[in-house]
Amino acid sequence: MKLSQYIIKINHEKFGVILNETFLNATQFKLFLKMVQGCIELKNDLTFFNGTDFLVHIPFKYLVDSIILTSVENYSLTDHYHNKSKIEALETK
């Protein structure tokens, strides 16, 4: 069975790869992209915490100077269990 994985990569000239995250759920990926776009448009820092084990904080001045790339790749069902996103945690507190 072939599924899709959604990838966002934020790359900064000075710091290198700031964020490289893979999503398995298209809706959560879309919401995360809207959050990134909103931070850029409103000139806010990008801050996200999933409640358990994933925290990202990128100040606006570095976010706006970064290259943001997204992609969709196909993968098999066995890859699904190895690449579960930390953002897509099963439970949050």
pTM for this model (two decimals): 0.77
Confidence (pLDDT) at 51:
86
Confidence (pLDDT) at 84:
63
Q: Read off the pLDDT of residues 7-34 as tens digits, 9 standing for 90 and up.
A: 999 999 999 999 999 998 999 999 999 9
| pLDDT above 80 (res 60) | yes
Q: Token digits for 65?
A: 């100077």
Q: Read off the pLDDT of residues 34-59 as tens digits, 9 standing for 90 and up.
A: 999 999 999 999 999 988 888 999 99
Q: Domain limits of the chain?
A: 2-82
More confident residue, 82 or 72: 72
| Cα gap 85→2, rounded to integer Å | 18
